[in-house]
Amino acid sequence: MANSQILGGGRLLESPTRGRIDKRSPLPLYAQLEALLLERIKQGEWQPNDRLPAEHELAGEYGVSKVTVRQALAHLAHAGVLRREQGRGTFVAEPRLQQGPRELTSFSEEMRRRGLRPSSVVLEGELIAAGPSVAEKLDLRESDRVFRLKRLRLADGAPMGLQTAYVPADLAPGLLEEDFAASSLYDVLSLRYGLVPVRAREIHCARVADAEEARWLGLPQGSAVLAAERVSFLENGRPLELVYSVMRGDRYQIVLDLTRAER
């Protein structure tokens, strides 16, 4: 089998012969073990959410110490290939969804394009005064009414993120009547009101999940999440929607395609 590569300690490492550790190789034992374990995952021997054998079992199988096994597992967990759960063991992580420069689409459309079934749990839906922060971002008065929609977003039934959207009430009266557990907000705005965003500005940051976010997303408190703020605009330049997203850090990664500017 052709050699594969794995990110280990900041280097791309060539995998050793599949199935065994070569103790005469200059490649560190933990790096060899990383490559062997990764190869087994790539070949489908272990599927997402499968639990790996215990550390002492892997140590016995490959003839290395438990310290070596821990190093290999830690590196794979850091790379997002595995996830380690206190008291339960080490599991194959779900593949991460790439998020980066792309078309202006809804969560539902993005999930369908990836072959996943989107759904939502509506946590809050209400008409409220915009308040200072939302009013500033949507170019409203603080007393203006906005429709606030908070949802848990799921893909194939698994929690992916929390999103809270704000839409000026005068642009889309009657949003409170819609069933957003089954409908995409963008679809409703487009089909019912003829409101189509043509551009958006998004700001991303990494942070730690608070207790409520961790509970809804099924994560240990203190887990890493990707947070984003998006303001989308109509063709006439008026802000249509402000949405705050908190996506699972173990399921999303941001990918940027960069080109050098001409000088």
Return the SS3 of 139: coil
- CA pair distance 83, 61, nearest whole angstrom: 21
The two tokens of residue 234 are 């109509």
- Whether 9 shows a pLDDT value over 50: the answer reads no
Which of 25, 19, 77 lies closest to 52 in space, CA to CA? Answer: 77
What is the CATH architecture assignment of 97-254? 3-Layer(aba) Sandwich (3.40)
Q: Count the neighbouring beta carbons within 10 Å of the beta carbon of residue 31.
A: 22
Residue environment code for 191-208, b if the CB has 16+ CB neighbours within 10 A, otherwise e: eeeebebeeeeeeeeeee
The two tokens of residue 158 are 């698994």
Of 98 and 148, the one with more pLDDT: 148
What is the CATH architecture assignment of 5-92? Orthogonal Bundle (1.10)
- Whether 202 shows a pLDDT value over 90: the answer reads no
- Whether 158 shows a pLDDT value over 70: the answer reads yes
- Whether 261 shows a pLDDT value over 80: the answer reads no
Q: What would the pLDDT profile of 49-78 be if each residue is shown by its tens digit?
A: 889 999 999 999 999 999 999 888 887 876
CATH 3.40.1410.10 in the chain, residues? 97-254
166 and 134 in contact (C-beta within 8 Å)?
A: yes
The two tokens of residue 198 are 């043509």
Return the SS3 of 207: strand
Burial class (CB in 10 A: 0-12, 13-18, 19+), 98: exposed
